[in-house]
């Protein structure tokens, strides 16, 4: 039997249990990974929380189990992200343990090879260990920001954190070109919660059976090398996930996608549209919202803008915009509540992506070769934005915040000036690399093979 066939035979009858963290930017890559591993012959069980749960009927190829998270209405609507994380960690631990234990005792004919989980859940390690189940982490952020998180003890020691206003523009010598202002931070009523999170996504990783990344070697080689050196566990950069296997783009979406934007894009000239989206969590105030609106309108370029309900603090949706704002643009602007983003970025009409540089969005932009304007908000987004603007040089950062003149200038530089052409060339090259790494002999292709062999070698 050929090695490939032998591997396929071994995988049959092996089940993997995946436990996504219930936020859009974490659900997407975990479910994409589930599709990849299912395509490679594994049976897949997804354990999900009731909070932000997916409809199992959109994924008939997987078996779903829900656990009760018992979040109250106010806890589920919590604006303080770290507090929400803390509630989920407190309330899901026991239901998860019970669910996993029941599954392990019932799935005797199809042994469970391992658990794949998200380090944002801080209890999975102890639960898996107590049930003698190997566990592998999926890191849904990039390797570069993970390497920055792993340097936190050093950053403390050197006095870079807690951040001081007087040092924000200083480059962190050990992490150049990352600046002090780029160091990951999530504001919370209790700052200690953030450092607890950092500990969970760094130190506890060391004991896991492996680390999966949604990235590719050519994009983040140095950071991956740093992580390999620091953690001494197998590291598998097998991304970009969404390009590995075909999947329905709407199946993982918590909000319903408004497809009117695709019909609208069909009427626009190639590379003429700025696509604006700040992901599923970031929020802005009314003044910033108006600056964005006027910056886009004054640029005289067509734009597709995702204004998620909740994006503008204190507003339902578009009320802060002056009445007749869109109409006055004579069809040059289109606003939706949620878009089929991957399809939008792949559309020939899209010429620029104005993004908050969440890791999924950054990677999706790279995969379609779209130059970016970056406005990071929190956590890893600032590091991603620094890499986009200063390392890969595939976009521009709005360094002084959301101001209409700066928005207009960035759009002009990307769409009309030579600098924009050079940026477009560089991101096109990265797009080609992303495609190549998934082909036979490519780094992600090989790494996926290594991951599968690793999973098959695990004994629970
Ligand atoms: N997304 C989408 N439609 C939108 C905006 C975002 O489908 O209108 C998807 C996007 O493709 C990405 C995810 O939501 O996969 C957002 O993840 P990211 O890591 O970029 O940001 P987060 O939401 O975690 O801040």
Distance between CA atoms of residues 451 and 285, nearest Å: 44
Q: Dmax over Cα atoms in the chain, in whole Å?
A: 70
DSSP structure class, residue 201: H
- CA R_g for the chain: 22
pLDDT of 8 above 90: no
How many H helices and E strands in the chain? 17, 13
Mean pLDDT of the chain, nearest integer? 94
Nearest ligand 1 atom, CA 345 = 11
Q: Is 342 helix (H, G, I), strand (E, B) or coil?
A: helix
What's the token pair of residue 328? Answer: 């006055």
Distance between CA atoms of residues 343 and 357, nearest Å: 18
Picking from 1, 9, 61, the residue whose alpha carbon sits closest to that of residue 452 is 9
For residue 139, with 0-12 CB atoms within 10 Å meaning exposed, 13-18 middle and 19 or more buried, which class applies? buried
Nearest ligand 1 atom, CA 308 = 8
- ipTM for the predicted complex: 1.00
What's the token pair of residue 57? Answer: 């009927």
Give residue-wise pLDDT tens across range 17-38: 999 999 999 999 999 999 999 9
Q: Whose CA is nearest to atom 2 of ligand 1?
A: 341
Query: Which residue of 141, 214, 360 sits with most ligand 1 atoms within 8 Å of its CB, as the best mutation to test the pocket?
Result: 360
Mean pLDDT of all residues in 203-210: 86
Does residue 25's CB lie within 6 angstroms of at least one atom of ligand 1?
A: yes
Q: Whose CA is nearest to atom 13 of ligand 1?
A: 25
pLDDT of 3 above 90: no
Cβ–Cβ under 8 Å, residues 100 and 171? no
pLDDT of 425 above 90: yes
Q: Whose CA is nearest to atom 17 of ligand 1?
A: 25
CA of 13 to the centre of ligand 1 (A): 34
Give residue-wise pLDDT tens across range 293-341: 999 999 999 999 999 999 999 999 999 999 999 999 999 999 999 999 9
CA of 279 to the centre of ligand 1 (A): 4
Does residue 81's CB lie within 6 angstroms of at least one atom of ligand 1?
A: no
């Amino acid at each position: 039997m050929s090695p490939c066939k032998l591997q396929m035979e071994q995988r049959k009858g092996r089940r993997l249990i995946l436990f996504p963290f219930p936020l859009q930017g974490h659900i997407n890559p975990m479910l994409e990974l589930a599709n990849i591993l299912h395509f490679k012959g594994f049976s897949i069980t997804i354990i999900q929380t009731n909070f932000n749960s997916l409809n199992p009927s959109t994924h008939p190829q997987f078996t779903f189990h829900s656990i009760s998270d018992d979040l109250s209405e106010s806890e589920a609507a919590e604006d303080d992200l770290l507090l929400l994380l803390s509630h989920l960690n407190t309330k899901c631990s026991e239901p998860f343990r019970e669910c996993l234990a029941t599954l392990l005792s019932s799935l005797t004919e199809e042994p469970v090879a391992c658990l794949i989980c998200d380090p944002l859940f801080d209890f999975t390690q102890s639960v898996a260990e107590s049930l003698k189940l190997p566990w592998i982490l999926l890191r849904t952020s990039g390797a570069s920001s993970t390497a920055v998180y792993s340097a936190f003890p050093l950053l403390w020691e050197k006095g870079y954190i807690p951040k001081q206003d007087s040092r924000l523009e200083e480059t962190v010598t050990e992490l150049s070109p990352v600046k002090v202002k780029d160091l990951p931070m999530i504001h919370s009523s209790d700052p200690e919660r953030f450092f607890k999170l950092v500990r969970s996504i760094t130190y506890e990783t060391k004991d896991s059976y492996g680390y999966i990344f949604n990235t590719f070697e050519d994009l983040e080689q140095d950071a991956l090398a740093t992580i390999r050196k620091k953690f001494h566990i197998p590291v598998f950069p097998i991304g970009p996930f969404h390009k590995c296997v075909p999947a329905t783009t709407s199946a993982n979406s918590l909000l319903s996608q408004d497809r009117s934007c695709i019909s609208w894009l069909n009427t626009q000239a190639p590379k003429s549209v700025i696509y604006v989206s700040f992901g599923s969590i970031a929020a802005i105030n009314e003044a910033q919202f108006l600056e964005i609106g006027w910056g886009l309108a004054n640029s005289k370029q067509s734009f597709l803008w995702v204004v998620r309900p909740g994006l503008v603090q204190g507003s339902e949706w578009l009320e802060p915009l002056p009445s007749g704002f869109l109409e006055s643009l004579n069809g040059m602007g289109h606003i939706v509540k949620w878009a089929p983003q991957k399809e939008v970025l792949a559309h020939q009409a899209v010429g620029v992506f104005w993004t908050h540089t969440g890791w999924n969005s950054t990677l999706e932009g790279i995969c379609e070769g779209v130059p970016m304007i970056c406005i990071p908000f929190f956590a890893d987004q600032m590091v991603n934005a620094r890499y986009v603007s200063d390392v890969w040089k595939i976009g521009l950062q709005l360094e002084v915040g959301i101001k209409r003149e700066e928005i207009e200038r960035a759009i002009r530089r990307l769409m009309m000036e030579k600098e924009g052409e050079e940026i477009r060339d560089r991101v096109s090259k990265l797009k080609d690399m992303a495609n190549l790494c998934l082909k036979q002999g490519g780094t992600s292709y090989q790494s996926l093979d290594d991951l599968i062999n690793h999973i098959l070698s695990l004994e629970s």
